[in-house]
Chains A and B, each alone.
Chain A
Amino acid sequence: MTDSVLVQAVIYLAAAVIGVPLAKRAGLGAVLGYLIAGVVIGPFVLGLVGGEGHHVMHFAEFGVVMMLFLVGLELRPALLWQMRRRIFGLGGLQVVASAAVLAGVALALGVAAKPALATGLILAMSSTAIVLSTLAEKKLLASSGGQGSFSVLLFQDIAVIPILALFPVLAVAAPAASADAGRPGWLQGLLVLGAVIAVVGVGRYLVRPVFRVLSRTGLRETFTAFALLLVVGIALLMTLVDLSPALGTFLAGVMLADSEYRHELEGDIEPFKGLLLGLFFISVGAQIDFGLIADDPVTIAGLTLGTMAVKLGVLYALARLFGFDRPARWLIALGLCQVGEFAFVLLSVATSGGIFDAGFAAPLVAVVALSMGLTPVAFIVLERVVLPWATKDGAPARPADEIAHADVPVVIAGYGRFGQVVGRILRANRVPMTILDLDPEIVEFVVRLDIKVHYGDASRVELLHAAGCARAKVLVVAVDDHAQALAIVHAAREPFPHLQVLARAKDRPTYYELLHAGAHFAMRETFVSAYETGIAALRSLGARAYTAERRAARWRRHEERELAELAALRASGDEEAYWDRTRRALDEAERLMRDEDPVVFAHRDGAWDNESLRVDADARGAPTAADEAPPPLA
C-alpha cells in the first residue's frame, strides 16, 4: 500500500517536473503542460496510472478550494461589493442563457426535457481551476476581462448549490441514493446561515489571536499547520451543510483580505495549492477516455466543439451587453467556453440521482475533459490570433487596470527603531508603504496607525511577492539581524531586478556583504548617529556650525572613498586581500586615523581662502571673497 502510494507520487511528480518545463518552453503554458503530462502517463499512452486516477482527481480537487481561498484573500469585501453587478448580472445571465441554449440543442437532438435541462446546466459550468490559474500565469487577472471572467466563475460557484437542489426535481427514474433527503428546507437554511456566520466569525475574530499565540512559539510550521487547518476545516464545515467548500473558503479568504496575516496565509497555502492544482490537471489529462473518443470521434468532437461554440457565443454577447471592450470580450468568451470540473461532480450526482444513465453520461464526461484540454489551446489562439486582430481595429488594448490592491511603491522589511525612522519620513511625504515584520506587537501597533503591515519572514520570496515587490520601486531592508538582512537581499534581487534594495548594515564587513549580495545602497546603522555626534563635538569645541558641517562632510567623502575601495576589493574576488584587510580591523582603524591627520587631511577652502588674493588686492579690487585669512584650525 505504502509502496503503491510512493510509486504513484513519483509518477505524478515526475510527470509534472518533466511536462511543465517542456510545455512552458514550447510556449504552451503550465496548465497545458500538466494536461499533456496526464495524457502521457494515462491509460492510453504509457498506462502508468489507471482506475485510481479518479480518486487522485477527487483529492486534487482540493487545490481548487485552496485557490479560491487565495483569490478571496486578494479581494477585500468592498471590492467584492463593487463587483456585485457583474457577478450576479453577467454571471447569472451566463448560466441561464448557456443552459437554455444548450438544453434547447439537446432537445433538438432528441433528448427528453428533464435530462436536456440537466445537461444544459451541467455544460454551462466553466473551469475555475484552469481559467483562474491561466489568467494568473498570464497576469491577466487584473485586467477588465480577467475581472469579468472571475465574476462569472464566482457566480457559477454559487449557482452549484441551487442546481444541486434542483436535480431531484429533474429525476425521471427513482434516485439511486439520496444522502440527506430527510433534511427539511428550513433546517437546511438555518444550517447554511449558521455555517456562513461561523466562517465570517472565524475570519474576523479567531484568526488574529491564534496567529499571535503561534507567532510567540517562533515555530514556522505551526503557522503552516494552522493555515491548512483553517482551509480544510472550513471546507469540511461547508461539506457538512451541503455548501460548496470552494465558496466557503473563498468567503473566509475575503474576510481575511484586510488582515495583516494575509501574506503569511498566502505564503503558507500557495505551495499546496500549486501542487494540488497541478495534480488535478494531470488527473484530468489521465481521465480523458481516448477509447470512447476513438469509437466515435466525429460525435465527440462535434459535441465538444458545438458546446464550446454555443458558450462562446453566449459569453461574447453578454460581455458586449455589459460594456466590455473588444479584447476583454474575447478574453471572457474564449477563456470561459470550456466545461469545468464542477461538471464531473454534477454528472455523477445526476447519474446517481436518476436523471440520466451512465451510458448517457460517458460521452459527456469525455466532452468535459476534452474541452478542458482545449482551453490552453483556446488561450494560445486568443493571444496569438484574436487579440492582435481585436486590438488592431478596435478599442486599444487596455493595460491591466485596477484590481484588489493599489500599487505600493515602498516595502519595508523590519519595522524596529531603524525601519520606523525610514517609515516616518516616507509617511510624512505621503508615500504609501507595506511593512513586513516578525514581531506581533510591532505588527499590531502599526495596524493601529492604519499602515499596511504583514506578519512574516521577509526572506521568503512568496512573502515579498505577496507584499507587492513585483510592482514596488524600493525595498528597505531594515531588520537588525545581519544574516536575516542578507537573506532578504538574496531573496529579493533575482525575482525583482527592477527593485531598488536599500539595506541596513551593522558595520564595514556586513556593509560589503550586503553590497556584494546585490543591495544598491547600504548604510552602517550607527554611522550617521556617530557622524552627527562628531559634528556636535566640533561645535562644542567652538567651531562654527557651517564649518563643522563642511569639515565633517569632507571627512565623510574621504571615508566613503575608502569604503568604496575596499568594496571594490571585495567585489574583485580577491578574497585573500579582502579578508586580510578586514581581519586586521584594528590595523585598518589605525590606518584610517592616520589618514585623517590634519597634515594629510588639508582643510583649505579654495575660493574662501584668499591669501593669494591679498597680494593682488594691493594693486586693484579683488573680485571674490576678500576679507579673511586662514588661521590654523582651533
Chain B
Amino acid sequence: MARRILILFAHPVAERSRVGWRLAEAAAEVEGVTVHDLYERYPRFDLDVPREQALLTSHDVIVWQHPFYWYSVPALLKEWADLVLEHGWAYGDGGDALRDQGKLALSCVTTGGPASAYQPGGYNRFTMRQLLSPWDQTAHLCGLRYLAPFVVHGSLRLAGAEDLAPHLARYQRLLAALRDDEVDLDAAAGAEYLDLTHLRGAAA
C-alpha cells in the first residue's frame, strides 16, 4: 500500500523564499502528498492540536520542510513540536500514537551556505546530521524512523529556473519513491543526505 506523505511546511516569509516555496509547490504536485502550510494556517501560532495530531495519524511519512534559521527551525515549527508531540500521546507513558507503525520522518532543509560549510573544519563546523540531531532524537522518541535529510545547499546563489529544476525533480522523485516504497530505508537512515542513490535498484 502506498505511503501517505505529510509535508509540514514552515516558512515565515514563504512569498519571498527562492527555494523553499518552489520545493513545496513541486511536492504538492506529487500524488499522495499533503502540503500543510503551517504559517498560512496558524499566523497567530494558535495551533489546533487535535487537528494536527489527526494529520499525523493519517499519514505515514512526516517531512519537516523549512529554511535553516540559526541551525534550527522557524519558531512555528518548534511550537508545533512542543504542542503537538504531547507527552502521553507521542511519547512517554501511553504515548504510542505514532509508534511501531512503520512511520517515517525526515527533514527537508534549505540553507544559504554550501555543503562544504557543513563539515568538520568548515565554516559551520558540524554536519547537517549533527545539527539536525534534535529532530533525529525527537523522531526516535516518538517511534518514527528518521531518515537522512533532503537538503538544498547554497540557495542564496540559486538564481534562475534552470538552476532550481534539478533540485525540484530530485525532490519529487524521492517523495514518489517514499510513497511507493522504493527507498532502501536502511541505507537512507544511515546516510548523510537523502539522495537518488538510495532508491532500491539504483546503482551504488
Point out residues on A near B: beta carbons under 8 Å.
543-549, 605, 607-608, 610, 613-614, 617-618, 620-631, 634
Contact = CB atoms under 8 A, between A and B. Distances in A.
B39 A545 contact: yes
Contacts of B117: 620-621
Contact of B155 (A546, A548, A549, A627): A627
Contacts of A614: 112, 156-157
7 contacts: A546-B40, A617-B113, A617-B154, A620-B123, A621-B124, A626-B112, A629-B16
Interface in B1-41: 12-20, 39-41
Nearest to B68: A626
Contact of B44 (A549, A605, A624): A549
B110 interface: yes
A632 to B, nearest CB: 11
A629 B122 contact: no
Nearest to A620: B123
A603 to B, nearest CB: 11
Instruction: Determine the main DSSP class of B at the interface with A.
Output: loop
A634 B16 CA distance: 11
Interface string B116-154: 111000111000000000000000000000000000001
Nearest to B18: A627
A614 B113 CA distance: 10
A621 B157 contact: no
Name which of B13, B39, B112 has the most chain A CB atoms within 10 A of its CB. B112
Contact of B112 (A548, A622, A630, A631): A622
Contacts of A628: 13, 16-18, 20
A192 B110 CA distance: 89
B178 to A, nearest CB: 23
A548 B39 CA distance: 11
A156 to B, nearest CB: 60
B157 A618 contact: yes
B71 A617 contact: no
Name which of A605, A622, A625, A630 has the most chain B CB atoms within 10 A of its CB. A625
A549 B156 CA distance: 26
A627 B110 contact: yes
A-B complex: 9 closest residue pairs judged by Cβ atoms: A621-B113, A626-B112, A621-B117, A622-B112, A627-B155, A545-B43, A628-B16, A620-B123, A617-B156
Nearest to B38: A546
A627 B44 CA distance: 23
**Size category of the binding interface on chain B:** 35 or more
Given A613-B156, A617-B157, A618-B157, A626 B14 contact: no
B53 interface: no
B114 A621 contact: yes
A607 B68 CA distance: 12
Contacts, number: 96
A537 to B, nearest CB: 15
Nearest to B23: A627
B67 A626 contact: yes
Contact of B156 (A607, A627, A631): A627
B149 to A, nearest CB: 15
Contacts of B111: 621-622, 626-627
A628 B71 CA distance: 17
Contact of A544 (B15, B156, B157): B15
Contacts of A622: 111-113, 156
Contacts of B13: 544, 546-547, 605, 608, 628
A543 to B, nearest CB: 8
A547 B15 contact: yes
Nearest to A605: B13
Contacts of A630: 16
Nearest to B19: A627
Contacts of B19: 627
A545 B41 CA distance: 7
B6 to A, nearest CB: 20
A296 B18 CA distance: 108
A610 B157 contact: no
A548 B14 CA distance: 12
B79 to A, nearest CB: 13
Given A544-B39, A545-B43, A621 B16 contact: no
Contacts of A608: 12-13, 16
A450 to B, nearest CB: 29
A544 B20 CA distance: 15
Given A544-B15, A605-B13, A617-B157, A626 B113 contact: yes
Name which of B17, B113, B156, B157 has the most chain A CB atoms within 10 A of its CB. B156
A605 B44 CA distance: 17
A581 B15 CA distance: 40
Contact of B70 (A544, A545, A618, A624): A624
Nearest to B16: A628
Given A613-B112, A618-B157, A626-B112, A548 B43 contact: yes
A629 B14 CA distance: 11
B39 A546 contact: yes
A621 B112 contact: yes
A544 B14 contact: yes
A548 B71 CA distance: 26
Contacts of A545: 39-41, 43
B20 A627 contact: yes
Nearest to B44: A549
Given A545-B43, A613-B112, A627-B110, 13 more contacts: A546-B13, A546-B40, A614-B157, A620-B113, A620-B123, A621-B113, A623-B113, A626-B68, A626-B111, A627-B67, A628-B16, A631-B15, A631-B16
B110 to A, nearest CB: 5
A103 B111 CA distance: 100
A621 B69 CA distance: 12
Contacts of B122: 621
A629 B69 CA distance: 15
B157 to A, nearest CB: 7
A605 B71 CA distance: 19
Name which of A608, A627, A630 has the most chain B CB atoms within 10 A of its CB. A627
A481 to B, nearest CB: 33
A628 B20 CA distance: 9
A628 B13 CA distance: 8
Contacts of A623: 70-71, 113, 124
Contacts of B158: 627
A618 B126 CA distance: 19
B155 A626 contact: yes
Contacts of A627: 17-20, 67, 110-112, 155-156, 158
Contact of A610 (B40, B71, B112): B112
